[in-house]
Amino acid sequence: MSGGIALVANGFRGFARYLGGVMGADAYAKYLEHHRAAGHEEAPLSEREFWRDRTDRQDSNPQGRCC
């Protein structure tokens, strides 16, 4: 019984993670990953700074949305 619940919960978590990926919710995590991998000297942006920078850059670099 609990196995079934765990299975459903897992499936739901997987779907939520996927949806989050599609919407770009994991952008900060990916940025940190890149930052670590690239071996930058300076500290990474904080979460708040990152999202601010992200939307502010979209101001001058808009992404199209189709019909």
Q: Which residues bind other proteins (CB under 8 A)?
A: 16, 18-25, 27-28, 30-35, 37-40, 47-48, 50-67
Quick one: 5 or 66, whose CB is closer to other proteins? Answer: 66
Q: Taking a C-beta distance cutoff of 8 angstroms, is the pair 53, 35 a contact?
A: no
CA angle 19, 25, 30 (to 5 degrees): 115
Quick one: 3 or 25, whose CB is closer to other proteins? Answer: 25
What would you measure as the largest C-alpha separation in the chain, in angstroms? 53
From the CB of 31, what's the least distance to other proteins, in Å? 4
Quick one: 3 or 27, whose CB is closer to other proteins? Answer: 27
Task: Residue 51: name the closest of 22, 33, 29 by CA.
Answer: 29
